[in-house]
A and B are shown apart, each in its own frame.
Chain A
Amino acid sequence: MLMRSISAVIAAAGKARGLRRQRSGERFIEGWILLAGILAIVILLGIVFFLIREGAPIFLHTNPWQFFSGAKWYPVSEPPTFGILPFLVSTMIVTIVSTAIAIPIGIACAAYLAEVASPRVRNMVKPLVELLAGIPSVVMGFIGLMLLSPLVQSTFNLNTGLTGFSAAIMLSMMSLPIIISVSEDALRAVPDDFKQASYALGATRWETIRHVSIPAALSGITAAVMLGVGRAIGETMTVLMVAGGALAVPQSPTEPMMPMTAAIASGIGNAVRGGLQYQALFAIGLVLFFITLGVNLIASRVLERQKRRFAR
Chain B
Amino acid sequence: MRIKKWHKWLILSTLLVGGLSLSGCAGNSGPAPVTPSPGTELSGTFSIVGSNTVTPITSVWAEDFMAINPGVRISVSGPGSGAGIAALIDGTTEVCQASRKIKSLEIEQAESKGVYPYEIHVATDALSVVVHPSNPVSELTIAQISAIYTGRITNWSELGGNDAEIVAISRDTNSGTHVFFKEHVVQMQGLPTEDKSLEYGPNVLMLPSTEGGVSETAGNPNAIFYPGLGYITDEVKPLGIQITADDISVLPSVETALNGTYPIARPLLYYTDGEPEGIIKAFIDYCLSAEGQLKVNEVGYVPLP
Q: Which of A12-20, A35-43, A70-78, A212-220 is found at the contact surface with chain B?
A: A70-78
Interface check B79, CB cutoff 8 A: yes
Chain B contacts with A in 40-67, Cβ cutoff 8 A: 52
Interface check B203, CB cutoff 8 A: yes
Chain A contacts with B in 134-182, Cβ cutoff 8 A: 145, 150, 153, 159-160, 162
Q: Which of A23-31, A102-110, A227-235, A265-273 is found at the contact surface with chain B?
A: A265-273
Question: Which residues on the A side are within 8 Å of B89 (C-beta)?
Answer: 273
Q: How far is the CA of A150 from the CA of B221 in the complex (A)?
A: 12
Contact with A along B5-34 (1 / 0, CB 8 A): 011001000000000000000000000000
Contact B7 A127 (CB under 8 A): yes
Contact A247 B208 (CB under 8 A): no
Q: Which of B122-130, B165-173, B230-238, B297-305 is found at the contact surface with chain A?
A: B165-173
Interface check A246, CB cutoff 8 A: yes
Interface check B179, CB cutoff 8 A: yes
Asked whether A248 and B174 contact (CB < 8 A) given A159-B167, A160-B220, the answer is no
Contact A241 B202 (CB under 8 A): no
Instruction: Give the Cβ gap from A274 to chain B, nearest Cβ, in Å.
Output: 7
Instruction: Give the Cβ gap from A165 to chain B, nearest Cβ, in Å.
Output: 15
Partner of A269, one of B10, B82, B109: B82
Contact B199 A77 (CB under 8 A): yes
Residue of A74, A249, A266 with highest tally of chain B CB at under 10 A:
A266
Residue of B105, B165, B175, B207 with highest tally of chain A CB at under 10 A:
B207
Chain B contacts with A in 186-233, Cβ cutoff 8 A: 196, 199-200, 202-208, 212, 215-216, 219-220, 222-223
Q: How many residues of B contact A (CB 8 A)?
A: 46
Asked whether A159 and B165 contact (CB < 8 A) given A123-B6, A248-B202, A266-B206, the answer is yes
Asked whether A241 and B212 contact (CB < 8 A) given A123-B6, A159-B167, A273-B82, the answer is yes
Q: How far is the CA of A258 from the CA of B179 in the complex (A)?
A: 18
Contact A159 B222 (CB under 8 A): yes
Q: How far is the CA of A153 from the CA of B222 in the complex (A)?
A: 12
Question: Which residues on the B side are within 8 Å of A268 (C-beta)?
Answer: 80, 83, 174
Q: How far is the CA of A245 from the CA of B223 in the complex (A)?
A: 15
Q: How far is the CA of A244 from the CA of B172 in the complex (A)?
A: 10
Question: Which residues on the B side are within 8 Å of A75 (C-beta)?
Answer: 173
Question: Which residues on the B side are within 8 Å of A51 (C-beta)?
Answer: none
Chain B contacts with A in 72-106, Cβ cutoff 8 A: 79-83, 85-86, 89, 100, 103, 105-106
Chain A contacts with B in 253-312, Cβ cutoff 8 A: 256, 258, 262, 265-275, 277
Between-chain CB contacts (< 8 Å), 30 pairs: A77-B182, A123-B2, A124-B6, A127-B6, A145-B215, A159-B165, A159-B220, A160-B167, A241-B208, A241-B212, A244-B207, A245-B206, A246-B203, A246-B204, A246-B206, A247-B204, A256-B205, A266-B174, A267-B172, A267-B174, A268-B80, A268-B174, A269-B79, A269-B83, A270-B80, A270-B81, A272-B85, A272-B109, A273-B82, A273-B89
Mark B residues whose CB is within 8 Å of A: 2-3, 6-7, 10, 52, 79-83, 85-86, 89, 100, 103, 105-106, 109, 165, 167, 172-176, 178-179, 182, 196, 199-200, 202-208, 212, 215-216, 219-220, 222-223
